[in-house]
């Protein structure tokens, strides 16, 4: 099996995946060594042909690569984990590296905030890869109740202070 030598896709393949003309293909691969189902990274999203999903880069908390398995952790608009996709890759043209680069690039700032009494949260700003807008998330550490009004108030104060200090 040889690695892909190009990141070019036919117009038909782009249309089938739903890749917009304005999107640039960065890397591609196949799901498993025996499959022709594509996994495509563009400048705006990751496309999984097998599930017909388009996942914006800011909707991925992380991507873990343990050859040949790619594990994608999905988040919602508040930064909370909402699912996982596990993809066994076959042929690839630097797909894991492109995914890592795009996910990392979508994070503008990620800072740990001390909320007192041993509680903490991550304050994260991400760039929506489709709208070029910034959205903020507060992700409480494991074991904390994200609906606790005291924690929410403290986190909101920390977030306001961070945003003011950064001018965002």
pLDDT per residue over 62-101, tens digit each? 999 999 999 999 999 888 889 999 999 998 879 999 999 9
Domain boundaries, the chain: 11-105, 107-166
Average pLDDT over all residues of the chain: 91
Sole residue written with tokens 């904390």: 144
Cβ count within 10 A of residue 130: 14
Q: Quick one: how far is CA 96 from the chain centroid?
A: 12
Q: What is the mean pLDDT of residues 27-52?
A: 92
Overall CATH class of domain 11-105: mainly beta
d(CA 139, CA 137): 6
DSSP category for residue 2: P
Q: What is the mean pLDDT of residues 117-141?
A: 93
- pLDDT-based confidence at residue 7 (cuts at 50, 70, 90): low
With a cut of 60, say whether residue 2 has pLDDT above it.
no
CB 62 within 8 A of CB 73: yes
Which stretch of DSSP H or E encloses residue 15? helix 11-17
160 forms beta bridges with: none
């Amino acid at each position: 099996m040889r690695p892909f030598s190009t990141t070019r896709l036919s117009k038909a393949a782009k249309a089938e995946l739903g890749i917009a003309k304005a999107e640039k293909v960065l890397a591609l691969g196949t799901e498993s060594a025996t499959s022709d189902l594509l996994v495509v990274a563009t400048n705006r999203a990751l496309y999984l042909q097998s599930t017909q999903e388009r996942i914006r880069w800011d909707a991925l908390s992380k991507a873990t690569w343990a050859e040949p398995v790619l594990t994608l952790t999905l988040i919602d608009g508040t930064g909370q984990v909402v699912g996982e996709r596990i993809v066994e890759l076959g042929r690839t043209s630097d797909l894991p590296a492109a995914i890592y680069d795009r996910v990392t690039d979508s994070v503008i700032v990620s800072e740990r905030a001390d909320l007192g009494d041993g509680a903490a949260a991550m304050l994260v700003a991400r760039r929506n890869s489709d709208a070029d807008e910034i959205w903020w998330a507060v992700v409480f550490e494991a074991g904390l109740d994200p609906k606790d009004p005291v924690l929410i108030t403290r986190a909101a104060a920390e977030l306001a202070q961070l945003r003011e200090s950064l001018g965002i």
